[in-house]
Amino acid sequence: MSELFDRIDALVASRSPLPPPAERKRLRQAHGLTLDEVASALDVRRATVSGWESGKTEPRPPEREAYARLLGKLAELYPAHPDATAPVEGTAVPETLSSAPALTPQAQPVPTGPAPEAAAVTTEQKTQTRTAANAGPPAAASRPARTTRTTSSASRRPAARNAASAGTPAVGADPRFENGPLAVVDVDADGQVLAYCTGGLVLDVPAKSLPSLVDWTLKEAKLGQPRLSGPGKDGDPLLVLTEAALKRYGLPVNLADDERLAGRIPESHKVVRQLVRAEWQLTKRGFGPWARIYRPAQGSDRQCVQLCIPSWHALGTRHWGQVGQLPPAELARVLGVFASRVMTPRGSTAVTGLELMTALHPPTRASDPDADGKRHSEHNPGSLGRNPVDPAPCEAPDGHPLLKDLPRFHVRGPAEKLFEEAYDWARPMTDAECTLRHLVGIDVNMAFAAGANGLTVGLGAPTHVQAPVFDAKLPGSWLVDLSHVDLSRVKVGKDKWAELDASLLPSPFTPKGDRPEGPAWYATPTVAYAAELGYDVTPVEAHLRYENGRYLDGWYNRLRDAYLATMADLGVHADLSPADFLTAMDGYKDRDPELAIVVSAIKATVKGGLGKLRERPRGEGWRPGEPWRALSRPTWRPDIRAAVISRTRINLHRKIVKHAAFTGQYPVAVLSDCVVYAAGGESPLDFLPYRDGKPLPGGFKLGINPGLVKHEGTQSVLWGEEVRERFNARELNLARYIKDGTVTDADNGE
């Protein structure tokens, strides 16, 4: 009889009622339980519980009764909100590797209907534990078959929610790309190929060769990124191949010397031949650290996968640090945060910065339907178009085809060449400054991004004009004599003039801070500043761009939001008081070294993207007077780069003048976006004129927003004098070394 009762109990248990998958996960997270804890209690694998919560599988006896009992107890403790009309899942933030705030995702709708049963990923517990360390952007709740996901509510921090979503769409919002923009492909100790995605997701990879890996990525992995603008293209999926994955798919772990110089493996390599046989193609750059594998698009059907190979130096240590040495889950986190907030990397940070401009302002768009109802490709207003334009001769760098008729060793002077560059200026300290104890450096946050904000730039080809009337609203290059501008008396407000010591100030018109000696070419912001200082400007000629717009605004906004969101995750918020801001900035990188890498990459994307606007030849047998590859891009625009740098330098000089007029303090050195002052204390607050917590209008202001300043470093005045004496250079630029005080002989050519 007892056996009969047991069978009856088992039959009842087999139909134990369960809440929908989304509710199962909500209840677990509400109680702070991890997938591993639930799996251990039920004596099942972690992947099994993940499948129950995603709706891909359903529990069977005897686990079903125990699982139903657990959920029933949790439902009593955490009843559903009475206003909820449909289950909604808020994806929990995976556990982080430090105490820094984790990324908090957006809630995602979850299908509640039945789902076909599927096999779960077959991974060892150590692989699952490694995955739990990943705290990247949120992944979608609905997952394909053979997946696992590790999350924990322990690291959720409400303060990070707004920062995490600042200006960036939630990963997984598009069902086509529900598994995120990228995956790190690795091989575990058991030989299983795994794809580590953002949000702690791990996919089982069945591909046995690189061509089949590409096929799997496009057909099953659900990787990619939605377009950043209406007329744009969706971001291609990115696969990051670890050393183990390279070995599995027959690729070298490191490039040979000749391959490294060529930037690719040879076309005769067996893997390249495999791709060719499978009818896949490579771009002209071949199979290198950032290989692109594609088939020609069929209508709107785009088939392209980007590879990133860290061991081939795809992620340069200058901007990405040692990110290539991170475990797969943590590497996916770093790249995933960058991808969700900026864009999926397309190459170096410089390449990505340039690609972001195009992604936000595609050259073409679909036209309105014609008489037959068909749409055609047309120019997208506000973009640079699909065809490159030649610069004005003064804007062309040396060696450009426009200058091929110049004598071979001709050196162009200021009256022939536009030379808008960042500051590199220094001067000897005065006797009064030597009596002070400290040299304090302040650095402008995202200075070049701030210079791009709201800047009107040319969109088309230049028009040559003789004796033009200067128009500050018209972008272009102007030949004008500004040698008469006297910084000893400048206009600092409406009908307000200031008397300054010009010998202690850099000129705003040259990178070295020297006063110009005659006519020279300048970008519009530089000439406009001369007029702002109260002096007449009379251009001799100009190359003007009547087709213009604020092309870089969207680019600036996205990078600004990415920077502020990541700094907020590191505990540095935009609304901090000056003293609290300095405290928050102290050691912020140590709170989460991985997110600090993202900050570095975002800043490098700004500078690198602007640098790409004037990319020079990169070998390839180029000779002066011949075109080089970059000239074929519509985004090769040295005039736009010059305008941004001009405005950035002018913005800095304006603050320096305001500060000098109000306090009588002058900079000792200026390097790009760093300014050094002599001060009686070690903090910027010892010389910045704050009154009742408010900064000098138009002067320097402490804060994390682009254009505001942070503390760069402090050294003693004795240190500065000793360095200059050691190198016998009274005008050695101390701003270059103010951060940590380290100066080597190599820094000064000795």
Position 139 pLDDT exceeds 80: no
> To the nearest 10°, the Cα dihedral for 14, 15, 18, 21?
70
Tokens of 452: 């791009």
Return the pLDDT at 230: 86
H-assigned helices in 664-733? 717-726
Residue with the bigger pLDDT between 296 and 148: it is: 296
Return the pLDDT at 409: 86
Q: What is the DSSP string of 227-239?
A: -SSTTS-PBPPEE
Return the pLDDT at 11: 57
Q: At 14, is the pLDDT very low, low, confident or very high (cuts 50, 70, 90)?
A: low
Q: How far apart are CA 568 and CA 559, in angstroms?
A: 14
Residue with the bigger pLDDT between 357 and 729: it is: 357
Q: How far is CA 350 from CA 2, 338, 609, 672, in A?
A: 74, 14, 5, 18
Bond from prior residue into 508 cis (ω within 30 degrees of 0): no
Q: How far apart are CA 447 and CA 457, in angstroms?
A: 18
Every domain of the chain and the residues it spans: 1-89, 98-106+119-347
H-assigned helices in 299-361? 317-320, 328-341, 349-360
Phi, psi of 719 (to 5 degrees): -60, -45
- The CB density around residue 63, as the number of other CB atoms within 10 Å, is 16
Position 540 pLDDT exceeds 60: yes
Phi, psi of 694 (to 5 degrees): -105, 135
Residue with the bigger pLDDT between 569 and 727: it is: 569
Return the pLDDT at 113: 37
Return the pLDDT at 117: 35
Q: At 6, is the pLDDT very low, low, confident or very high (cuts 50, 70, 90)?
A: low
Return the pLDDT at 137: 41
Return the pLDDT at 429: 94
β-sheet with 519-523: strand ranges across: 463-466, 541-544, 476-481, 519-523
**Per-residue pLDDT tens over the stretch 265-310:** 999 999 999 999 999 999 988 999 999 999 987 766 789 999 999 9
Return the pLDDT at 50: 81
H-assigned helices in 438-540? 447-452, 524-532
Return the pLDDT at 750: 39
**Per-residue pLDDT tens over the stretch 199-211:** 899 999 999 999 9
Return the pLDDT at 368: 86
Position 679 pLDDT exceeds 80: yes
Q: How far apart are CA 698 and CA 21, in angstroms?
A: 56
**Per-residue pLDDT tens over the stretch 367-380:** 888 888 888 889 99
Return the pLDDT at 118: 35
Q: Which of 568, 597, 562, 594 is nearest to 581 (CA)?
A: 568
Q: Which residue has the tokens 């183990």?
A: 244
**Per-residue pLDDT tens over the stretch 520-529:** 999 999 999 9
Q: Which of 216, 218, 225 is nearest to 198 (CA)?
A: 225
Q: At 144, is the pLDDT very low, low, confident or very high (cuts 50, 70, 90)?
A: very low
Return the pLDDT at 45: 80
The mean pLDDT value for 560-581 works out to: 96
Q: At 12, is the pLDDT very low, low, confident or very high (cuts 50, 70, 90)?
A: low
Q: At 30, is the pLDDT very low, low, confident or very high (cuts 50, 70, 90)?
A: confident
Q: List the beta strands (DSSP E) in 243-359.
A: 281-282, 292-298, 301-308
Q: At 213, is the pLDDT very low, low, confident or very high (cuts 50, 70, 90)?
A: very high
Inter-residue contact 305 to 293 (CB < 8 Å)? yes
Tokens of 601: 């990459």
Q: At 33, is the pLDDT very low, low, confident or very high (cuts 50, 70, 90)?
A: confident
Question: Could you tell me which residues come within 8 angstroms of residue 577 by beta carbon, excluding any fewer than 6 positions away?
Answer: 693
The mean pLDDT value for 142-149 works out to: 39
Return the pLDDT at 162: 33
- The CB density around residue 463, as the number of other CB atoms within 10 Å, is 15
Coil, strand, or helix at residue 718? Answer: helix
The mean pLDDT value for 534-544 works out to: 96
**Per-residue pLDDT tens over the stretch 155-201:** 323 233 233 333 333 444 688 999 999 999 999 999 999 999 998 99
Q: What is the CATH number of domain 1-89?
A: 1.10.260
**Per-residue pLDDT tens over the stretch 425-441:** 999 999 999 999 999 99
- The amino acid that residue 246 corresponds to is L
Average pLDDT score, the chain = 85
Tokens of 104: 């908090």
Is 270 buried (19+), middle (13-18) or exposed (0-12) by CB count in 10 A?
A: exposed
- The CB density around residue 5, as the number of other CB atoms within 10 Å, is 9
Return the pLDDT at 5: 59
**Per-residue pLDDT tens over the stretch 302-313:** 899 999 999 999
Residue with the bigger pLDDT between 225 and 92: it is: 225
- The amino acid that residue 181 corresponds to is P
Position 97 pLDDT exceeds 50: no
Q: At 126, is the pLDDT very low, low, confident or very high (cuts 50, 70, 90)?
A: very low
**Per-residue pLDDT tens over the stretch 487-511:** 999 988 888 899 999 999 999 999 9
Return the pLDDT at 49: 86
Q: How far apart are CA 580 and CA 606, in angstroms?
A: 27
